[in-house]
């Protein structure tokens, strides 16, 4: 099919495609999502097909306002307080749903669903004009780095989806925090911009231990079970800046061609002739540009090893390290020989 690019001026045309049961990628402050009418099971199943996504990986329901959530779920007082504080914004909340309100294609067959209201006016208008909430997984091929620009989406999805709403690059660069409020104890299932310290003001206890999802278990949230964010090259995380000279020496002795994904301070020490991608000057820019950097090396098929800078896993660093660890398959320098 032809994939049409839309802008804020043509958002009504993009909404019509959603009403027709087609797929339209949309911008958020975190990454670009892949939208389909969340109440149209046929359309939802197209999302799995377009992404090559496992069918037991639940989808986030993306809304334009809190009242829409009430159509599908039990909005507790705690949930409403957090929604009013952080929405629109990079916080996804898992709630118990009204029985039968959402199809198993959206929930993975679970009695819960994840809801989010993005901080992007064009997307909220798209949802309002479409008349229903939309599912919103990242608009990339399953397992690949998430897209932070419309061009990233087009690279993965050209010919697979009907349209892309382009509203410029994402500001945050990693997916939203996922907070599970469906049980007795609130739990962060995926770290993001809204971190534990920010949530502490409204929640007495927050569980941050990442649950390992078994092979026969359906995950409550995206990113908990399957490999994510991986470029074709093997990523190796260098946890400390002082270790980069040794890591580069190790990579130079490896037969594979390598590149470096790091901040400008680190890149200033990289020998000439090595392919590099700048993550800017600090953790915030590194988080924003991480997925773009991983995609950059995918465009260089000759490079099969990437040394990537690590950060302390605190605050926003927890979100950065969660993504880069999954991209690397947990591989850190020094690498232990098999």
Is 190 among the annotated ligand-binding positions?
A: yes
288 is in an annotated binding site: no
Residue 45 DSSP class: H
Between CA 162 and CA 278 the distance in angstroms is 33
Known binding residue 112? Answer is yes
Contact 169, 148 (CB under 8 A): yes
Residues 113/178, Cβ–Cβ less than 8 Å: no
146 assigned binding-site residue: yes
Q: Is 124 annotated as a binding residue?
A: no
**Residue 55 marked as a ligand binder:** no
What is the chain's Cα-based Rg? Answer: 20
User: Has 53 been labeled as part of a binding site?
Assistant: yes
120 marked as binding residue:
no
Annotated binding site: 30, 53, 57, 112, 116, 138, 146, 176, 190, 229
Residues within the annotated binding site for L-threonine? 30, 116, 176
Binding residues for ATP: 53, 57, 112, 138, 146, 190, 229
């Amino acid at each position: 099919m032809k994939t049409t690019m839309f802008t804020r001026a043509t958002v009504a045309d993009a909404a019509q495609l959603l009403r027709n049961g087609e797929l339209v990628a949309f911008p958020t402050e975190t990454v670009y999502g892949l939208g389909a009418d969340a109440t149209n099971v046929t359309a939802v199943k197209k999302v799995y097909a377009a992404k090559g996504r496992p069918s037991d990986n639940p989808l986030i329901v993306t809304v334009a306002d809190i009242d829409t959530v009430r159509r599908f779920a039990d909005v507790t007082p705690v949930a409403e307080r957090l929604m009013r504080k952080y929405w629109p914004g990079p916080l996804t909340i898992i709630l118990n749903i009204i029985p039968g309100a959402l199809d198993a294609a959206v929930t993975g067959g679970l009695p819960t669903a994840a809801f989010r209201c993005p901080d992007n006016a064009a997307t909220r208008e798209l949802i309002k004009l479409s008349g229903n909430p939309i599912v919103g997984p990242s608009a990339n091929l399953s397992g690949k780095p998430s897209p932070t620009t419309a061009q990233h989406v087009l690279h993965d999805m050209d010919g697979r989806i009907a349209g892309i709403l382009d509203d410029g690059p994402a500001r945050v660069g990693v997916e939203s925090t996922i907070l599970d409020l469906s049980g007795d104890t609130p739990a962060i299932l995926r770290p993001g911009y809204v971190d534990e310290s920010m949530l502490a003001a409204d929640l007495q206890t927050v569980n941050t231990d990442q649950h390992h999802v078994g092979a026969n278990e359906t995950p409550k949230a995206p990113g908990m079970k399957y490999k994510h964010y991986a470029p074709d090259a093997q990523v190796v995380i260098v946890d400390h800046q002082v270790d980069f000279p040794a890591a580069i020496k190790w990579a130079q002795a490896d037969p594979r061609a390598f590149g470096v994904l790091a901040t400008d301070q680190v890149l200033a020490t990289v020998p000439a002739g090595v392919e590099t991608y700048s993550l800017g000057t600090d953790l915030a820019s590194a988080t924003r540009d991480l997925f773009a950097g991983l995609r950059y090396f995918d465009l260089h098929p000759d490079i099969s090893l990437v040394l990537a800078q690590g950060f302390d896993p605190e605050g926003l660093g927890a979100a950065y390290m969660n993504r880069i660890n999954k991209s690397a398959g947990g591989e850190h320098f020094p690498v232990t020989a098999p």
